[in-house]
């Protein structure tokens, strides 16, 4: 069920920003986080993304303004999904930029990000409507101003934001196809799993391939996974032919 996120930063007595030195808070407000919160986070049109969610009464979605902001920050700071989550939980600038003071209420995890990306890609495949590009187009001038204030941020246009999102979602899809094929062969007979594919049976291999991938690496990793899928398919056909 679609639900709008909070648009105000409500700092309570228990807020972590109340427990750090005033000088650090002042520096925080002089950082990119203040401008990002005011110019990007508060400007995100969440209703644009309402079509991704059911209109029926159900568990509400995670705040779209936070999810879109995280996808933007991932690209601007050239982070992997794993690094993005680390920054969210351990970097006050990210928390301040997204108006987060209570992680128990927000409950953002790495799967929240990957699921949101997948929703965006699936929606575009059905409707030809690229919601993320539409939103970053609308924010382009404000994004340019925020980037100008912090030279460490990558210069990216709306097409690049959208393209990175699609590549990472496709990488995850192809990887899971290969992984499921390997698991299926292993279930039939461990000897059916070809040399070089055993790592797909290890949980850490999924993390290394998906969550430790920067957007700039997604294209080459996607090409590799497609080659892996083709190789495994030919191997499975060979096994089947030999069984007849």
Nearest residue to 41 via CA among 63, 64, 61, 65: 65
**Whether residue 105 is found in the same domain as residue 213:** no
CA angle 5, 28, 216 (to 5 degrees): 70
Q: How many domains does the chain have?
A: 2
Mean pLDDT of the chain: 87
**Whether residue 84 is found in the same domain as residue 197:** no
pLDDT tens digits along 175-230: 999 999 999 999 999 999 998 999 999 989 998 999 999 998 999 999 999 999 99
In this structure, is residue 11 part of a structural domain? Answer: no
**Whether residue 136 is found in the same domain as residue 229:** no
Find the domain containing 175 and state its range: 164-243
CB contact at 8 A, 71 and 165: yes
**Whether residue 192 is found in the same domain as residue 145:** no
**Whether residue 105 is found in the same domain as residue 170:** no
pLDDT tens digits along 65-116: 999 999 999 999 999 999 999 999 999 899 889 988 776 666 789 999 999 9
- Whole-model pTM? 0.84
pLDDT tens digits along 9-28: 545 545 666 667 788 778 88
In this structure, is residue 108 part of a structural domain? Answer: yes
For the chain, give the number of residues.
244
In this structure, is residue 5 part of a structural domain? Answer: no
In this structure, is residue 2 part of a structural domain? Answer: no
**Whether residue 27 is found in the same domain as residue 124:** yes
Torsion angle of alpha carbons 176, 178, 184, 189, nearest 10°? -140
**Whether residue 180 is found in the same domain as residue 85:** no
Choosing from 111, 140, 156, the residue where a domain stops is 156
């Amino acid at each position: 069920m679609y639900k709008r996120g909070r648009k105000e930063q409500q700092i309570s007595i228990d807020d972590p920003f109340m427990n750090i030195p005033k000088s650090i808070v002042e520096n925080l407000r002089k950082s990119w986080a203040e401008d990002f919160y005011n110019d990007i986070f508060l400007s995100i049109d969440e209703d644009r993304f309402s079509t991704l969610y059911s209109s029926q009464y159900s568990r509400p979605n995670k705040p779209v303004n936070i999810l879109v902001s995280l996808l933007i920050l991932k690209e601007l700071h050239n982070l992997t999904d794993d690094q993005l989550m680390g920054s969210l939980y351990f970097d006050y600038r990210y928390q301040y930029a997204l108006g987060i003071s209570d992680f128990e209420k927000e409950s953002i995890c790495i799967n929240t990000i990957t699921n949101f990306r997948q929703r965006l890609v699936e929606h575009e495949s059905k409707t030809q409507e690229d919601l993320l590009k539409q939103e970053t187009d609308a924010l382009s001038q404000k994004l340019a101003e925020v980037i100008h204030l912090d030279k460490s941020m990558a210069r990216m246009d709306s097409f690049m934001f959208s393209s990175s999102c699609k590549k990472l979602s496709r990488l995850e899809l192809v990887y899971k196809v290969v992984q499921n094929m390997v698991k299926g062969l292993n279930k039939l007979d461990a000897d059916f799993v070809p040399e070089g594919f055993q790592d797909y049976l290890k949980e850490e291999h999924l993390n290394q391939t998906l969550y430790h991938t920067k957007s700039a690496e997604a294209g080459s990793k996607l090409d590799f996974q497609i080659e892996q899928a083709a190789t495994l398919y030919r191997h499975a056909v060979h096994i089947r032919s030999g069984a007849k």
